[in-house]
Chains A and B, each alone.
Chain A
Amino acid sequence: MTPGAHPRPAGLLARVFSTDHKVIGKQYLFTGIFFLFFAGLMALLIRWQLAYPFRSVPLVGGLLFGKGGIMGGEHYTMLFTMHGSLMVFFAVTPILIGAMGNFVVPLQIGARDMAYPRLNATSYWILFAGGLVMAASFFVPGGAASAGWTNYPPLSSDRGVTLGQGQTLWLLGIVLAGTSTLLGAINFVATILNLRAPGMTLRRLPLATWSYFFTSVLNVLWVPVVAAALILVLLDRVAGTSFFLAGANAPFEGGQPLLYQHLFWGFGHPEVYILILPVWGILSDLLSVFSRKPAFGYRVSVIAMAAIVAVSGIVWGHHMFTSGMSPLLGKAFVLLTLAVSVPTALLFLNWLGTLWKGSIRFEPPMVYALGIVFVFAVGGLTGVFNALQAFDIYIHDTYFVVAHFHYTLAASVFLGSFAAISYWFPKMFGRRMNARLSVVHFLLSFLLLNVVFLAMFRMGIAGMPRRVADPFVYEYLQPMRGWSVLAGWGTLGLGLVQLLFAWDFFRSLRAGPAAPANPWGAATLEWSVASPPPPHNFERTPRVAGGPHEYGRPGPGGRDWVPQDEEVSLT
């Protein structure tokens, strides 16, 4: 690539529609944080309603729900639908993949940009359009979507039962987000395969970049499946077709609601790995950096991630054990799902192996990373219960499932995002965040998210169904009132603690102390350039001479690491 591959744009318009992966990464980051804020506020409203059903919501109730400030079943249903959808497609995906992936991957492999810079910008702006559609859906007649993030037909597709225009806009918004993710994923695969600097063999890729590769492969394979399914729902809704409609209300024969569930979960299960894989990769690298030791069992980690990618496409049935699926087929899904525990256990072995006999520095990114090992252990191990067909029949669609996926997709993924932000913030913005605030933010978040999600496990075991505006209409759930109140206040605390992070983040953007090129003493290529990196990343294309995790090995000048682009002189 020549230095003039993408000339520095001058005008404001050209800066907004930048094709620089670093700028696009930041655009994804701010978009993700924006939606995270609103989807987080929705969580507060949801937990208020569950703690004190149909009691006036303090402060904002009157504004949001009209006189009396009491939310109705319809508001509650819209809130959890939008909370889940916005979190998955407009907060987690943009922050973890769009922002961190875009910023980090080209730098880590020694490239000047992504393989297709204009496609990269297009991906972002498609997501932006999707975000506008989702935001608009709150203001249309009938209100926002209300069929859950899983969007099962006929509820979602039969206009006789879901009246809101918001449902139609939701379908459009999610299809746009999916298109954005798909184009981004193609870009990642092409970039990682083709733009690696000389010497950056696959065996020298940092594990974070490996994880972005695997995540992108999954996105390329499975996002089209869900997009197709959603487009068919859209046709059922607006064009009078009958793909997923059956029974007395269906206009035509031959439609099948169950087919949608198969298509949705065919994507839905890989999606959990799409979101968690980058966390695993980043975690693996961070543990190595801050233990000052090479990542333990690098090759086994890569093979384990590849194995999970392979298996993830054939386990979706564990979401459908109560759907009326064949029991024999169910048993195959049980064993396949349980088998995922083998590569997962190997990843844990390697994380602990990295810490073992290291010299552990409790810097903020490391503290978040260590928290992930704990919460992901809870999230992963409780997955075992969901895999057991007989037991799943009882816990399916209860708070047990909600607790399980919040340990993985909320606790692990957000601690992963915080770890990534706090680790790469100096590189992104050339400034440093406040270490003490970050550690306080971690400790309080860690405590409170365990309170909230453990309470959810307790309610799940009691058989509390999810998506119920007032679980206490059921007599058998009365003993759970205390737990629900605890989860409510825990969530409020968790929300307030995030303000600490937001304050530190936005303050450090302008006023943080200047960051050196390599504040953590890290060996990967992004730390070999200035903070923030120059427009074309590398003045000269780096030549990679070694692995990504050469720590704990005395180098020149008293360094205890060997940068990836440094030839080691054997002395």
Chain B
Amino acid sequence: MGFPEDASLHGHLLDRLYGHAFWLTLAAFLAVVAILGWCLVRYRARPGRLPTYTHGSGRGALLLSLGLAFAVFVGIDLNLALEDHRVFDALVGTPPDPAKAFRIQVMPQQFVWNVRYPGEDGEFGTDDDLTTLNQIHVPAGRPVLVELRSMDVVHSFFLPHFRIKQDALPGLTTRAYFQATKTGTYEVACAELCGLEHYRMRGFLHVGSEEEVAEWIARTREEYGADQELWRAWTRMKRESD
């Protein structure tokens, strides 16, 4: 269908929803175009051709209107709304259990993604935290829970290969979740205009095994140390909004 490769557990549901909406609307479109084309050919003005004088306000036309209204509402609206409801719940409506999920905090600012890992103890704000720029490492096969909070303007955390997008606002924590099924490196895009260099706000999502990710976090923390400055910024923002 032209989407980027799907590397997530739920992305295919969304791709299928798109497919259904696509065929339904295409059918409606072709019906309109076919009738339009037919009229243009069949009822074009010709010498001696008399139009039919009718206001389309009789019983027949009214029944046709009601029938079409019913068909559109049930066949397109309710049909797609129900599927959307199911896909939405699978995709974003049901947050993973924080105890089992791989948790990160993402704090965008003009024009970088600050990423924070809780470290081995699973708690943010402790000594074994790790903060990185633009590099996100997550394990495959486990739900990832992302907490977002902007440090300045509105940004939007977009993972095209995981069919996920979530705005990050200042003074408000938002959440996004996904589960990666394929290892590899994918791109993070900023999808909300955030300033003159918005286009440079590109990050990377590395999906590896649990061991690889743990090893990478430990090694990087060894090299750079924990950045408590950013943690203080996060808690300060939180206090002000609560």
Residue ranges of A at the interface with B (Cβ–Cβ < 8 Å): 72-74, 76-77, 146-148, 152, 154-155, 158, 160-162, 245-250, 253, 255-258, 291-300, 322-324, 327, 330-331, 334-335, 338-339, 341-342, 345-346, 348-350, 352-362, 370, 373-374, 377-378, 381-382, 384-385, 388-391, 393-394, 396-398, 458, 461-463, 465, 467-471, 473-476, 547, 549, 551-553, 560
Contacts and interface: CB of A to CB of B under 8 A. Distances in A.
Nearest to A550: B53
A377 B29 contact: yes
Given A258-B172, A391-B18, A473-B199, A323 B189 contact: no
A385 B164 contact: no
Given A323-B167, A473-B200, A331 B51 contact: no
Contact of B80 (A247, A359, A362, A384): A384
Interface stretch (B54-62, B114-122, B212-220, B221-229): B54-62
B50 to A, nearest CB: 7
10 contacts: A161-B153, A256-B171, A297-B65, A323-B167, A352-B36, A391-B84, A393-B164, A393-B166, A463-B4, A467-B198
B163 interface: yes
Interface residues of B, number: 92
Contacts of A342: 69, 72-73, 77
B87 A390 contact: yes
Contacts of B18: 385, 391
B195 A161 contact: yes
B43 A355 contact: yes
Interface in B37-94: 39-40, 43-46, 49-57, 61-62, 64-65, 68-69, 72-73, 76-77, 80-81, 84-85, 87-88, 91-93
B187 to A, nearest CB: 6
Contacts of A461: 1-3
B43 A358 contact: yes
Contacts, number: 307
B163 A292 contact: no
A349 B64 contact: yes
Given A359-B49, A373-B32, A374-B33, A293 B172 contact: no
B194 interface: yes
| Most chain A CB neighbours (cut-off 10 Å) among B1, B21, B199, B202 | B199
B133 interface: no
A373 B174 CA distance: 41
B51 A552 contact: yes
B29 A378 contact: yes
A160 B169 CA distance: 16
Interface in B101-118: 110
Contacts of B151: 247-248
B12 interface: no
B152 interface: yes
B165 A393 contact: yes
B84 A390 contact: yes
A381 B69 contact: no
Contacts of A74: 196
A-B pairs with the 7 shortest C-beta distances?
Answer: A246-B171, A247-B170, A296-B56, A463-B160, A552-B51, A324-B174, A355-B39
Interface of B: 1-4, 13-14, 17-18, 21, 24-25, 28-29, 32-33, 35-36, 39-40, 43-46, 49-57, 61-62, 64-65, 68-69, 72-73, 76-77, 80-81, 84-85, 87-88, 91-93, 110, 149-154, 156, 158, 160-161, 163-167, 169-172, 174, 186-187, 189-200, 202, 233, 236-237, 240-241
Nearest to A470: B199
Contacts of A393: 14, 91-92, 163-166
Nearest to B154: A152
Contacts of B1: 461
B3 to A, nearest CB: 6
Nearest to B150: A247
A474 B92 contact: no
Contact of A389 (B88, B150, B172, B202): B88
Contact of B172 (A246, A354, A396, A397): A246
A375 to B, nearest CB: 11
Contacts of B92: 327, 390, 393
Given A355-B36, A377-B33, A552-B51, A154 B154 contact: yes
A461 B1 CA distance: 8
A237 to B, nearest CB: 14
Nearest to A338: B77
A118 to B, nearest CB: 40
A140 B60 CA distance: 63
B4 A294 contact: no
Contacts of B233: 248
Contacts of A257: 154, 169-172
